[in-house]
A and B are shown apart, each in its own frame.
Chain A
Amino acid sequence: MQGPKTVFTLFGFPITESVVNTWIVMAVLIILALVLRRRLELRPGKAQNIAELLVDGFTGIVKSTMGEKNIGFMPYMATLFLLILFSNIIGIFGFRTPTSDINVTLGYALMTFFSIHFFGVKAKGLGYLKGFFEPIFVIAPINIIGELARPVSLSMRLFGNMLGGSVIMALISGAVALFVPAVASIYFDLFSGILQSFIFTMLSMVFISLAKD
């Protein structure tokens, strides 16, 4: 399987298929948001029900994993989840999934990595950095490697799952053209995509709230 193709170049930078597909996903999400929030009424209609379900659901998940005081992370986590989710399942519609590109998943993982340490320092000040030398200072290099491993594992998990799914789907489609790829697609594109986006978001939430406490 080939890497993402370069679609066009912008100011001399090559713009790859992954980035373009991410923009498509973003456009879809923005349109969806516009449709869902079109009319907010006391007696909700169908669209508003979905919007309320999303907001209530994400609020509940963020509340239960990060605690009541970190409810402000809900918009970011919900956005991250929806962006990865739609990037994952866009494969069903024949697009190359942006998340099977290591640069995309590493970008998301780096955002989580920066957030962990930014909010850690913000919440605890220098005490946060002291945390690396506990329980004894000898352990510090291991702690630091552990911290660096987090974005690597996050990005690799998502990238590997999605790329692997795509590869297997390509193999199955090549071997049996009828019926079997449809069933396999439900697992590899849909189920795996939902699961991986959920895992990525959950881990981000857990890491950030751990760094803050």
Chain B
Amino acid sequence: MFEFNPVDIGITIVNLLVLFLILRKLLWKPVSEFLEKRRQLINDDLDNAQRNREEAQKLLEEHRQLVAQNKGEAAKIIDNAVRQADLRKDEIIAQAGQEAAALLEREKAEIAQEQAKVMQELREDISNLSVAVAEKMLARNLTAQDQEAIFTAVLEELESHAN
């Protein structure tokens, strides 16, 4: 029950060392390394996630700024357009006024011309008529000198009437 047996002691030590080497190769090392690798991986993943979140936050901020900026620009563009439209409206109205004035002017000129023509015709008619009247009243042919004198007198009278 209590005998020392150096062979058994030796075999036991060899057993322990052999099992140690086998288990180290089979279990302890690979699992330890695997755990370390996974820890690394998880750390990396967490770091990555953190970085991505920060980046996303930054992008969001940028977009917000951009949108605000664009809103301002849009307002400016609309403002510009309204101002330009106002300008154009005034221009169009002014042009229309000018055209109307020109048209009126032309009409007036035409009317004046017509008036002058009518006046001329009237004057000729009256002179012919007055000559005929004078001939009838005198019942005889006047000399060219008489005719001239009478015509001038009648004309002067008419003109004084017309004025």
Contacts and interface: CB of A to CB of B under 8 A. Distances in A.
B15 A19 contact: yes
Given A54-B31, A75-B29, 15 more contacts: A2-B1, A3-B3, A18-B8, A29-B19, A29-B23, A37-B26, A74-B28, A74-B32, A76-B24, A79-B19, A103-B5, A103-B9, A107-B8, A107-B12, A111-B16
Interface residues of B, number: 32
Nearest to A27: B19
A40 B12 CA distance: 32
| Majority DSSP secondary structure for residues of A touching B | helix
Given A13-B7, A22-B12, A104-B12, A83 B32 contact: no
Interface in A94-121: 101-104, 106-108, 110-111
By size class, the interface of chain A is: 35 or more
Task: Point out which of B16, B20, B35 has the most chain A C-beta atoms below 10 A from its C-beta.
Answer: B16
A21 B31 CA distance: 27
Contacts, number: 112
Nearest to B32: A55
Interface string B13-25: 1011111101110
A76 B25 CA distance: 11
B19 to A, nearest CB: 5
A52 interface: yes
A139 interface: no
Interface string B33-69: 0110010010000000000000000000000000000
Contacts of A1: 1
Contacts of A33: 22-23, 26-27
A83 B34 CA distance: 23
